[in-house]
Amino acid sequence: MCLAIPGKLTEIYPEEMDHFQRSGKVLFGGISQSVNLSLVPEAKVGDYILVHVGVALSVVDEEEAKKTKEYLDKMDKEGGK
């Protein structure tokens, strides 16, 4: 089973605009992480994306991203029982 985490794309690194090397910074709650964007060439700053092991897999709408984060938060709380 794979788990993709939603985050907000806050920056696309300009020096890596080549499609195969494209990357940027994604905000997950209060944590920013560099992410490979080569699989989502349509992604732009402000978009929400699903990320798995440092690679963006798809662009999602904000509502879906928030719903997914709520599920993950709930799982985390229930797992700590």
What tens digit of pLDDT does each residue of 3-58 get?
889 999 999 998 756 666 889 999 998 899 999 999 999 999 999 999 999 999 99
Structure tokens at 50: 């699903």
DSSP designation for 14 = G
Residue type, 72: L
CATH class of 5-79: mainly beta
pLDDT reading at 2 higher than 80: no
Q: What pLDDT is recorded for position 75?
A: 81
Domain boundaries along the sequence of the chain: 5-79
Q: Nearest to residue 13, comparing CAs of 38, 49, 48?
A: 38
Quote the pTM value.
Answer: 0.81
Q: What is the pLDDT of residue 59?
A: 96
In three-state secondary structure terms, 44 is coil
